[in-house]
Amino acid sequence: MSAVPQSSPAPASGWSNAAYGMLGAPLAMAALPLFVQIPAYYASHVGLALAPLGWVLFAARLLDMLQDPLFGHLLDRSAQRQKRWMAAAGVVLAAAFICLWKPPSSPQAAMVWLVAMLVLAYGAHSMLSIAYLSLGSRLPEQGLRAVPWREGAGLAGVILASVVPVGILAADPALIDQRITWYCLFFGAVLALSLLLLLRQPAPPMMAQGERWGASLRALWANRAFRSLLPPYLLNALSAAIPATLALFFIEDQLQERALAGGFLAAYFGAAALGLPLWSALARRVGTIACWRQAMLLSIAGFVGAVLLGPGDRWAFLLVCLATGAALGADLLLPPVLLARVVTQRASVGAAFGILTMLGKLALALAGIALPLLSALDYQPGQGPSSSLPLVYAALPCVLKLAAFVALGRYGRQHAA
């Protein structure tokens, strides 16, 4: 049963918009280490073997993908307690995030610790993110001004998480533990403050419940255009997830530029943010599909260049980061636009975006298998340049991106958009 508001929602103030948007920063600060920095930290600093580490990441990310629909269903069925779920998820996320950076000294115990903390961190982050986006979808129309606050805060969080943890790990080993502690406490404080500001705001009115989950899925499966969009999206997401998982390994071993890792990541995400308005303008001129395919070609060009890099090629790799980062902006912007065009059943839009999110997480899970693959190719972290690392980090994503390019072209010929 949907709740009926007693009066029309008042226009959102600038303060309430900011209070909503600020949570985007700590969510982004947690997401980047969970998916990019933690694997390299446990391989290089804790000493876990590469192959089992990769399978742990695969299993944890697969669980993260599968639990999202359950969390969404739980939040739908207990919407009046959504703020309590958010507060609880925030506490678990802060604790698990801190514990991930404080593993036991024994590699065997550290592996068990990593599994437990990843399950808690992924689960809490997913619960908090789903509830956050659900709350945002119920803001009054004037509250749409809060979305730029959310995206801006998220960008700030990504850049901060790109620079600070990597800088700490590249500094004096004797200072790493103390500085990581201060960074984790800072993250916990930002998360607590953001949640406090958000949860003190009046809850937006509840929306009427749409179709049951099963009916929405059946309607989506009957939509041929929607089904045809999924393969290029998954291939493209996987082509981005593999280099994201291996980025720090490539920077530290292949380029021998550990101290510059934070700057490279910041350039990558900064280029993605700056590219958003440019891709939006290009899509209006040439069409969404043509624009996305051009971005794929830009990404392929960047990764082809990365295959040839070795120690000291810092400026060339900076160009790779800028090119592939700019292409990432199109990957973030254009798939939701295509999805909204092909899914015309209003009651199925939420389920459609849920499936898209699940495919993105499936790509991250599959990317974890890149670590056992590298291990089978005799790559060992911390041993310097390797002939296999550029192949898996850059050449394999090129092949996947090219397959996505072809699949998207076939989609465009069958379903003009």
Rounded Cα–Cα distance for residues 374 and 371 (Å): 5
Instruction: Tell me which residue of 27, 202, 38 sits closest to 127, measured CA to CA.
Output: 27
pLDDT at 351: 64
pLDDT at 143: 42
Cβ of 98: how many Cβ atoms within 10 Å?
Answer: 18
Instruction: Specify the fold of 15-206.
Output: Growth Hormone; Chain: A; (1.20.1250)
d(Cα 380, Cα 252) in Å, to the nearest integer? 12
Higher pLDDT, 401 or 162: 401
The angle, 0 to 180 degrees and rounded to 10, between the axes of the packed helices 107-137 and 50-77 is 30
The residue-averaged pLDDT of 242-269 equals 89
pLDDT at 144: 47
Contact by Cβ (8 Å): 352, 72: no
pLDDT at residue 154, as a whole number: 78
Q: What pLDDT score was predicted for residue 274?
A: 84
CA-to-CA distance for 279 and 386, rounded, in angstroms? Answer: 35
- What is the separation of C-alpha 314 from the centre of its chain, rounded to a whole number of angstroms? 25
CB 266 within 8 A of CB 326: no
Fold of 213-417: Growth Hormone; Chain: A; (1.20.1250)
Query: What is the rounded average pLDDT for all residues in the chain?
Result: 82
pLDDT at residue number 417: 47
**3 C-beta neighbours (distance < 10 Å), count:** 12
Give the residue carrying structure tokens 């390019």. 405
The DSSP element (H or E) to which 265 belongs, if any, is helix 261-286
140 pLDDT exceeds 80?
no
Flag the least confident range among 40-49, 89-98, 128-137, 314-323.
128-137
Please compute the mean of the pLDDT values over residues 250-278 and round it to a whole number: 87
Q: What is the pLDDT of residue 3?
A: 41
So what's the pLDDT on residue 78?
60
Is pLDDT of 172 > 80?
A: no
CA 167 and chain centroid, separation: 21
> Measured in whole angstroms, how far is the alpha carbon of residue 126 from the centre of its chain?
11
Identify the H or E element spanning 391. none
Q: Closest Cα to residue 338, out of 393, 399, 279?
A: 279
Rg (CA), the chain: 21
Per-residue pLDDT for 121 more than 80?
A: yes
Q: What is the mean pLDDT of residues 67-88?
A: 72
Inter-residue contact 300 to 402 (CB < 8 Å): yes
Say how far apart CA 365 and CA 360 lie, in whole Å.
9
pLDDT band at 381 (very low <50, low <70, confident <90, very high): confident
Other C-beta atoms lying within 10 Å of the C-beta of residue 81: 12
Mean pLDDT is lowest, of 8-17, 62-71, 274-283, for 8-17
Residue 240 has pLDDT above 90, yes or no: yes
Q: What is the pTM of this model?
A: 0.75
CA pair distance 288, 60, nearest whole angstrom: 34
pLDDT of the residue at 5: 42
Which 8-state DSSP code applies to residue 344? -
Q: Give, for 247, the enclosing helix (H) or strand (E).
A: helix 224-249
What confidence tens digit (pLDDT) does each residue in 284-317 have? 899 889 999 999 999 999 999 999 999 989 999 9
Cα 10 from Cα 347, distance rounded (Å): 26
Phi-psi map region of 358: left, alpha, beta (phi>0 left; psi -120 to 50 alpha): alpha
Mean pLDDT of 84-107: 91
Residue (of 125, 186, 157) closest to 21 by Cα position: 157
Please report the pLDDT score of residue 206 as a whole number: 54
Q: What is the pLDDT of residue 273?
A: 80
- CA-CA-CA-CA torsion sign (321, 322, 325, 331): negative
Longest CA pairwise span in the chain (Å): 66
Residues 131, 134, 136, 140, Cα dihedral to 10°: -140
Share of the chain above pLDDT 70, in %: 82
First to last CA, the chain: 37
What pLDDT sits at residue 7? 41
396 contacts: CB under 8 Å, gap ≥ 6? 242, 370
Using left for φ > 0, alpha for ψ between -120 and 50, and beta otherwise, residue 172 falls in beta
pLDDT at position 79 is: 56
- Residue 142 reports pLDDT greater than 50: no
Higher pLDDT, 299 or 204: 299
pLDDT, mean of residues 254-274: 87
Query: What confidence score (pLDDT) does residue 317 get?
Result: 96
List Cβ neighbours of 40 (8 Å cut-off, separation of 6 or more).
248, 249, 252, 381
Q: Which part of the chain has CATH 1.20.1250.20?
A: 15-206, 213-417
As a whole number of angstroms, the distance between CA 137 and CA 144 comes to 9
pLDDT confidence of residue 205: 57
Percent with pLDDT over 90 in the chain:
33
pLDDT surpassing 90 at residue 177: no
Which tens digit of pLDDT belongs to each residue from 4-60? 444 444 444 556 777 877 888 899 888 888 877 888 888 888 888 888 888 888 888
